[in-house]
Amino acid sequence: FFVHSLSELSLGEKLRNLRGVARSSDSGVVCCWCLPTDSFRVCFSSLSCGSKVCSLRLKSRISKDNFTINMNRLLLISVLAFSGSVLAQFDRRQPTRDNTITECFSKVADVFFILDSSSSIWVEDYRKTLDFVSQVVTRFDISREDTRIGALSFSDDYTVGFDLDRYRSKSEVLASVDERTLPYKTGVTNTDAAIRYVRENVIFREDITKVMVVITDGGSRSPGATEREADLARDKGFHMVVVGVGQFQDEYEWRRIASDPDNDYIFNITSFNFLESLQDSLPRRICLYPPIILGGECNVLENADLFFLAAPDGINDALDVMGSLQEDFQFRNNLRVRYIMPACQDVIDSNFNPDIYCDRFGDAIEQTDDTYLNLVEELRVSAQEMSVTGFSPNQVAVLFIDDRTIRVPDDQRYQLLQALRNSVNTGLKIIIVDLGVTEFQNYLPAMAGNNREDVINYSVRSSRTVSDLLDRICIGLNEVPTFGTVPASK
């Protein structure tokens, strides 16, 4: 052993400089490494100059200018110092592991990254995507109980890097976000196949936040199939997020993949160089998403009235929706239902069974400009008659509106709006089901008492839409009334 003075050098420089020095020592070993001790460095022999240090038989003491060192103590200190040096250099190459953001502490979620690696993405840009995913991963609180991460890369086909149950720690996930496990593939962009794989084959936990994050630079090979797969994923309770790179060149498809509203689920940047601008905002948004619980039901806690209104052109859609809803109501003894539709009998249904009282295959009825306004008047009269009985403090009306309903002369459209506003003012809660209105859409929230949450878009058929409608109906049936009610008779 020997003592050798050195300036502060990196670990690699220490080893390179000392390798030659070690050869001249009387130990006769190939190399050594250094430990700083005050004003000098102590070197001892090892089997290699790499990352593994294997000490040989060590003399218990060395001396220079009569300086004595206890070698057992030196060995312990040396190993600790060496480990610290290696970890420090490793951390300079890897994202910091303690970047978990406040919103993500103890967040229970399953998050799956779907990475576009098709030919339209340059390999260096794909590497930036991997770096970005690594940075996002550091923001999550990763464990088997809290947030779990999975990822695949895709083009013509897909390569699953790791599933959600593969790793239990953040360091394990970070070690696998590389081109070895998530290769750059080239080829066309089969986004639909990648989404379908995650939906059908990955095992997600029940009743927690489930998220797919699609990172892509453009449109898929089969936009229609991609849209269908995204719809099916949302129907299964997934939050669908799109990180789109480009000048909204494929805004239409990104909107079809992403959940609503777009502001919460589409992250658009113009270049892969700007991905780092999302490394905090994306995980923060994901951690704020609530679980989507499927198979919900509505407990009608108090007496309530429910009305369904549709003109002839919207009856089939209305009956489809009512059929989806009818099994979701509990405590039906508290509920009375009335159908304001030409195809239905004018009766009070105490069991909410529209198949008994409505006939979708009956004689076709021509819809005129006055039809819907007349139905709204019938609704007003029915609601007033039923409230006089003192049975119900809460009344909710679900109105199905299509283009034919809204495309009437201006004066009739204004009369329709005023009639519905008057009904709202008397305590009737109005929920609008948009069957694909393309004109005068600004009228719909006004018809629902200026509450946009009570406008449900049914132009894209999905179980999620029916679930949203059920939620709004249930709130209306059970809320504490504040005006326009008639006290129960004694």
Angle (CA) 270-275-279 rounded to 5° is 140
Q: What single DSSP character describes residue 142?
A: B
Backbone angles phi and psi of 192, in degrees to 5: -60, -40
Q: What is the pLDDT of residue 323?
A: 83
Peptide bond into 342 cis (omega under 30): no
Q: Are 397 and 440 in contact (CB under 8 A)?
A: no
Closest of 46, 111, 117 to residue 78, by C-alpha: 46
Q: What is the pLDDT of residue 366?
A: 85
Compute the distance between CA of residue 4 and CA of residue 43 in angstroms, rounded to an integer. 7
User: Within the chain, which residues score under 70 in pLDDT?
Assistant: 1-97, 247-250, 293-296, 389-392, 459-464, 480-490
pTM, rounded to two decimals: 0.49
Alpha helices (H) in 220-361, listed in sequence order: 223-235, 251-257, 262-265, 281-288, 315-325, 354-357
Q: What is the pLDDT of residue 462?
A: 60
SS3 294: coil
For 167-232, the DSSP string reads -SSHHHHHHH-STTTS----S---HHHHHHHHHHHS-PPTTSEEEEEEEESS--S-HHHHHHHHHH
For the chain, the distance separating the N- and C-terminal CA atoms, rounded to the nearest angstrom, is 103
Q: How do residues 314-362 score in pLDDT, each as one tens digit?
A: 998 898 888 888 777 777 778 899 999 998 998 999 888 888 999 877 7
Q: Which tokens in the block code for residue 161?
A: 């890097």
Q: What is the pLDDT of residue 460?
A: 58
Q: Are 162 and 96 in contact (CB under 8 A)?
A: no
